[in-house]
Amino acid sequence: MKKTLSERIRALFSSSTPSDETFDELEDALIEGDVGVRLATDIVEQMRNEKQPPGGTREDIIEALKKRLRPYARQVEITPAQAPDALTFILVLGVNGVGKTTTIAKLVHHFAESIGRDRILLCAGDTFRAAAVEQLAIHAERLGVRIVKQERGADPGAVIYDAIESGKSRGARLLVADTAGRMHNKADLVAELSKIDRIVRSKIDESVYHRMLVVDATTGQNGLRQAEVFHEAIGIDSIFLAKCDSSGKGGIALAISQQLEIPVSFIGTGEAYDAIERFVPETYLAGLIG
């Protein structure tokens, strides 16, 4: 099996004094770990140029590296608004198969205890893919939460509009909406998302409106490109980094943060409903770097 980034770094700095080559290899390892070429080059350059080379023990070097990466491990906490009459809206976005629908179920599980299942509402905004509505409806039933849905092929903006109306009239505190993951045509995506965004903004205050992009931690630099497209189309408030259990990767969150300044809210660590954790920068860096 391929070595993880942290294994590679540990192996690299096992000898006493790191050479120029060691730093070249560190740069390669970081790039292959998806932290992005620019960030990898900058960080390694800084470490190379330090007057006092980090020297010392391997742990010192690893700590120095983590310290330099820390500003890019941006975090944001997303919670339903405290005001009992405020409806918090999470729009879940992302390309095909990244884990959007599963993520929605996990978010429900995560917030159910603090705000109550009866105050959570789902919206089947993916009206495009066959069986997408049913898939979300099954989660809603299992989790014991209400869902607003229409037929496949319905206008997603209309379903979302209905869901917001329904949530407000029934006193829901959290509305989470699924969306279709197609991205084959950027102009279409921008048009569709802009329309949804206009509808949401007309009904939901910006302070309780979260556009959450699900990124598969194992997809490499593709994740950065996805973030760029969605950020340009609708403006992304946070990343849900899914499939963090699947490999030693996940460095893509640093690349997205460095390029687009988007923070991470949660990570997904498996397929089960409880496989969700708040993003903790120190824990994340420890997992990535060692």
Ligand X SMILES: Nc1nc2c(ncn2[C@@H]2O[C@H](COP(=O)(O)OP(=O)(O)OP(=O)(O)O)[C@@H](O)[C@H]2O)c(=O)[nH]1
Site string for ligand X, 130-159 (x = CB under 6 A): --x---------------------------
Q: Pick the binder of Mg ion from 101, 127, 219, 258 (CB under 5 A).
A: 101
**Neighbouring C-alpha atoms within 13 Å toward the C-beta of 204:** 33
From ligand X, Mg ion, none, which one binds at residue 88 (CB under 5 to 8 Å depending on kind)?
none
117 or 182, CB closer to Mg ion?
A: 182
Q: CB under 5 A: which stretch of 30-38, 100-108, 202-210, 270-278 binds Mg ion?
A: 100-108
- Give me the residue label for tokens 């992009």: 213
- Using Cβ positions, the residue closest to ligand X within the complex turns out to be 268
Report in angstroms how near the CB of residue 146 gets to ligand X at its nearest.
Answer: 20
Give the Cβ contact number of residue 269 at 10 Å. 18
Q: How far is the C-alpha of 251 from the C-alpha of 285, rounded, in Å?
A: 9
Maximum CA extent, the chain: 66
Q: Pick the binder of ligand X from 33, 80, 99, 248 (CB under 6 A).
A: 99
Q: Pick the binder of ligand X from 45, 60, 77, 271 (CB under 6 A).
A: 271
Q: Are 251 and 241 in contact (CB under 8 A)?
A: no
3-state SS, residue 18 = coil
- Give me the residue label for tokens 């096992």: 14
Report in angstroms how near the CB of residue 84 gets to ligand X at its nearest.
Answer: 31
Contact between 270 and ligand X by CB under 6 A: the answer reads yes
Contact between 246 and ligand X by CB under 6 A: the answer reads yes
Measured CA to CA in angstroms, residue 216 lies from 86, 161, 245, 290 at distances of 31, 28, 11, 21
Contact between 4 and Mg ion by CB under 5 A: the answer reads no
Element (H, E) at 200: helix 186-203
Q: Report which of 65, 61, 83, 81 is spatially closest to residue 73, judged by C-alpha positions.
A: 65
Q: Report which of 33, 30, 25, 28 is spatially closest to residue 65, judged by C-alpha positions.
A: 30
Would the CA dihedral through 230, 235, 241, 242 be positive or negative?
negative
Q: Pick the binder of ligand X from 19, 57, 96, 194 (CB under 6 A).
A: 96
Q: CB under 6 A: which stretch of 20-28, 152-160, 200-208, 240-248 binds ligand X?
A: 240-248
61 or 159, CB closer to Mg ion?
A: 159
Q: CB under 6 A: which stretch of 4-12, 48-56, 239-247, 257-265 binds ligand X?
A: 239-247
Specify the length of the chain in residues: 290
Per CB under 5 A, which of residues 233..262 are in contact with Mg ion?
A: none
Contact between 102 and Mg ion by CB under 5 A: the answer reads no
Query: Would you give the end-to-end CA distance of the chain in angstroms?
Result: 18
Contact between 274 and ligand X by CB under 6 A: the answer reads no
47 or 242, CB closer to ligand X?
A: 242
Q: How far is the C-alpha of 253 from the C-alpha of 137, rounded, in Å?
A: 30
71 or 97, CB closer to ligand X?
A: 97
Per CB under 6 A, which of residues 102..121 are in contact with ligand X?
A: 102
Q: Dig out the tokens for 8 from the structure.
A: 């590679």
Site residues for ligand X per CB under 6 A = 94, 96-102, 126, 129, 132, 181, 242-243, 245-246, 268-271, 275
